[in-house]
């Protein structure tokens, strides 16, 4: 089909939740490159919004999908599943968690974390402890509960009344957090590095103070690492940057190397609050998803791609800062590893994104003045140099 035929079909039959999408349809991917219906090549600096950590069509992921699909795609969680058990072991042995539950998405993993935190206190005899505090500008998902946890009015406004007993405080303000805690608080839930609001890393001292405060008040600390986990920030898990460990954390996006899967990860005794019948999923943790995720995560660990993320991220940030020195309308370059934002003093982000697309580079925009880069962890200096050259040509138009 031609691009115009695909667009016409989409506009007639697909629910219009995405508006007018970018005018391109991809038919093939390999590594950091994508090809559209016309055969044009693009460099993917968005990685499916931090999903394709190994790039496109990585042999380990493709082979895992093919081999498992030929044997067994789905059975159900009534039965033991080898790849599910092995993936849970791989995550637990490489992180601070003791047990894992698999879902189909980041939103589902976060729903599970919310349920687990509330259930833990209920089973301890404190059913009144159900409030959860999140941070302003957060993003935790699009289900009703995770929307309530998402402290951005633009996502919430059309879905009230929201799930009750969520409140938010500013990031990096420990006093505001402490004042918000009451006898009803069961958990603090945060992204150590916020993604959807424009790549906002929390201060190291703040995260350490949050951990100390939760310990002192007897509150569960939940980290949402759906976007910032799995090597994205230069460590396998973002919490490693801060010298603290969460009680519960969630994963998705990069975990499956492109295949949908989410994970709810918890330490004991919190993990054991879930007992038979308390939680479940029809598709979550199926053989195909877990085999694929095992292959993706094993590759990231064995090939030390977290370190490549740190090295290439530092290089990309340094090249972007060179542009900042040249163009006064660049306000800030920020991020960790390969989770990076470029903020402008003026509303040109969407235009820059579209001009980058024309030049064959995929980036994202947040609002009108931030562009976001989330390239695959396999990126090279040569890829970055090509992108910086193209971005420099674009920015010259505004100078």
Catalytic residue, candidates 253, 267, 353, 355: 253
- Which residue intervals of 327-380 are DSSP H helices? 349-358
Spatial strand order in the sheet of 166-169: 99-103, 262-266, 248-251, 220-224, 185-190, 131-135, 166-169
| 217 is an active site residue | no
| Active-site residue identified among 44, 224, 247, 383 | 224
> What is the C-alpha to C-alpha distance for residues 294 and 288, in angstroms, rounded to an integer?
10
Q: What pLDDT sits at residue 321?
A: 98
Q: What does the pLDDT read at residue 144? A: 84
CA–CA separation, 327 vs 162, rounded Å?
43
The secondary structure of residue 163, as a DSSP letter, is P
Give first-to-last CA distance, the chain, whole Å.
40
Q: Sketch the domain layout of the chain as residue ranges.
A: 3-57+304-396, 72-302
Chosen CATH of 72-302 out of 3.90.1150.10, 3.40.640.10, 3.40.50.300, 1.10.3720.10: 3.40.640.10
| Predicted local confidence at residue 115, as pLDDT | 97
Q: Give the C-alpha distances (Å, rounded to integers) separating 372 from 47, 78, 154, 196.
A: 11, 42, 19, 9
DSSP state of 296: H
Q: What is d(CA 9, CA 7) in angstroms, rounded to the nearest whole number?
A: 5
Lookup: tokens for 210: 């949050």
168 beta partners:
134
Q: How much is the pLDDT for 324?
A: 97
Strand-strand pairing, 220-224 and 248-251? parallel
Backbone φ and ψ of 233, nearest 5°: -100, 10
The secondary structure element, H or E, covering residue 65 is: helix 59-71
| Closest to 353 measured CA to CA, from 21, 109, 33, 37 | 21
How are beta strands 262-266 and 26-30 bridged, if at all? unpaired
> If we measure between CA atoms, which residue out of 91, 115, 77 comes closest to residue 294?
91
**How far is the CA of 35 from the CAs of 40, 44, 61, in angstroms?**
5, 10, 19
Q: What angle do CA 325, 234, 29 make, to 5 degrees?
A: 90
Quote the tokens at residue 47.
Answer: 């990685």
Catalytic (active site) residue 26: no
How many C-beta neighbours within 10 Å does residue 131 have?
Answer: 19
Cis amide linkage into residue 331, ω under 30° from 0: no
- Same fold? 3-57+304-396, 72-302: no
Q: Which residues contact 44 (CB under 8 A, 6 or more apart)?
A: 29, 32, 33, 34, 52, 55, 56, 362, 375, 376
User: DSSP 3-state assignment of 189?
Assistant: strand
Closest CA to 339 of 369, 358, 363, 357: 363
Task: Please pick, among 139, 166, 237, 344, the residue that the annotation labels catalytic.
Answer: 139
CATH (residue range 3-57+304-396): 3.90.1150.10
Q: Please classify residue 50 by burial: count the beta carbons closer than 10 Å to its beta carbon, then call 0-12 exposed, 13-18 middle and 19+ buried.
A: buried
For residues 234 and 282, what is the distance between their CA atoms, to the nearest angstrom? 33
pLDDT at 143: 87
pLDDT, residue 164, reads: 81
Residue indicated by tokens 């302003």? 136
What is the C-alpha to C-alpha distance for residues 313 and 240, in angstroms, rounded to an integer?
Answer: 16
Compute the distance between CA of residue 111 and CA of residue 100 in angstroms, rounded to an integer: 14
pLDDT of res. 39: 96
Strand ranges (E), 31-93: 33-36, 41-44
Return the bridge partners of 102, or none.
263
Annotated catalytic, 253?
yes
- Residue-level pLDDT, tens digit, the chain, 399 residues: 999 999 999 999 999 999 999 999 999 999 999 999 999 999 999 999 999 999 999 999 999 999 999 999 999 999 999 999 999 999 999 999 999 999 999 999 999 999 999 999 999 999 999 999 999 999 998 888 898 899 888 888 888 888 888 999 999 999 999 999 999 999 999 999 999 999 999 999 999 999 999 999 999 999 999 999 999 999 999 999 999 999 999 999 999 999 999 999 999 999 999 999 999 999 999 999 999 999 999 999 999 999 999 999 999 999 999 999 999 999 999 999 999 999 999 999 999 999 999 999 999 999 999 999 999 999 999 999 999 999 999 999 987
């Amino acid at each position: 089909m031609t691009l115009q035929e695909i667009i016409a079909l989409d506009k007639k039959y697909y629910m219009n939740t995405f508006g007018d999408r970018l005018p391109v349809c991809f038919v093939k991917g390999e590594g950091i490159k994508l090809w559209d219906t016309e055969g044009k090549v693009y460099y993917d600096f968005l990685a499916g919004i931090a999903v394709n950590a190994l790039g496109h069509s990585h042999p380990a992921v493709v082979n895992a999908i093919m081999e498992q699909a030929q044997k067994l795609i789905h059975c159900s969680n009534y039965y033991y599943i080898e790849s599910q058990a092995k993936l849970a072991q791989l995550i637990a042995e490489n992180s601070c968690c003791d047990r894992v539950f698999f879902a189909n998405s980041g939103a589902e993993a976060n729903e599970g974390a919310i349920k687990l935190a509330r259930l833990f206190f209920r089973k301890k005899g404190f059913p009144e402890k159900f409030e959860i505090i999140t941070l302003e500008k957060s993003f935790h998902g699009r289900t009703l509960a995770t929307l309530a946890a998402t402290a951005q009015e633009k996502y919430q406004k059309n879905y009230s009344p929201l799930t009750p007993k969520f409140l938010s405080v500013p990031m990096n303000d420990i006093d505001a957090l402490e004042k918000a805690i009451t006898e009803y608080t069961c958990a603090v839930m945060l992204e150590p590095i916020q993604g959807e609001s424009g790549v906002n890393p929390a201060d190291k001292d703040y995260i350490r103070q949050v951990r100390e405060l939760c310990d002192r008040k007897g509150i569960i600390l939940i980290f949402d690492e759906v976007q910032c986990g799995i090597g994205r920030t230069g460590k396998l898990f973002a919490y490693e940057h801060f010298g603290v460990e969460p009680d519960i954390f969630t994963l998705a996006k990069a975990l499956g190397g492109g295949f949908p899967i989410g994970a709810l990860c918890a330490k004991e005794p919190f993990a054991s609050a879930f007992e038979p019948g308390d939680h479940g999923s029809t598709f979550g943790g199926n053989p195909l998803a877990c085999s694929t995720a095992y292959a993706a995560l094993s590759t990231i660990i064995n090939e030390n791609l977290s370190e490549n993320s740190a090295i290439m991220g530092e290089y990309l940030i340094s090249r972007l800062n060179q542009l900042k020195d040249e163009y006064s309308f660049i306000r800030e370059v920020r991020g960790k590893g390969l989770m990076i934002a470029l903020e402008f003093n003026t509303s040109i982000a969407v235009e820059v994104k579209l001009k980058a697309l024309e030049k064959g580079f995929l980036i994202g925009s947040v609002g009108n003045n931030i562009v976001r880069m989330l390239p695959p962890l396999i990126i090279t200096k040569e890829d970055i140099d090509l992108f910086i050259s193209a971005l420099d040509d674009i920015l010259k138009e505004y100078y």
